[in-house]
Amino acid sequence: MSFKSLSVQDAVHSISNGAMIVDVREQDEFDQAHLENAILVPLSSVSAEKINELNPANKTILIHCRSGKRSKVAANVLISQGYSGEILELDEGINAWIESDQPVISNI
């Protein structure tokens, strides 16, 4: 099992096809800016069990963080724990998303 790193445009396409967005940053980062409908699961609490609870329909998941480092770690954690769903990862994180003029939501 492996994960696939996506460009912003490929991520937009995956989201439009129903991928569940998992943000693995911390709460303060999420509050500043996040993708619409993203579910916050900080890297320290990422587990296959947690994702299965949040995603009982076993949708494709799209993991992202700020720059792409934590999302890759999270994807590898899920794989090592036997997660069976399709895992996508936003290669350069929300930074690339924002640089591409994609919309974000702020809680501030």
Give the integer Cα–Cα distance in Å for 27 and 4: 25
Binned at pLDDT 50, 70 and 90, residue 99 comes out as very high
Q: Residue 39 is part of a domain; what is its CATH number? A: 3.40.250.10
Q: Is 107 a member of any domain?
A: no
Q: Is 106 a member of any domain?
A: no
Residue 1 has pLDDT above 80, yes or no: no
Counted domains in the chain: 1
Domain hosting residue 49, numbered range: 3-99
Q: Is 82 a member of any domain?
A: yes
Give the integer Cα–Cα distance in Å for 48 and 76: 10
Mean pLDDT of 89-104: 97
For the whole prediction, is pTM greater than 0.85? yes
Q: Is 46 a member of any domain?
A: yes
Tell me the per-residue pLDDT of 15-46, one tens digit each, with 9 for 90 and over. 999 999 999 999 999 999 999 999 999 999 99
What is the SS3 assignment for 9?
A: helix
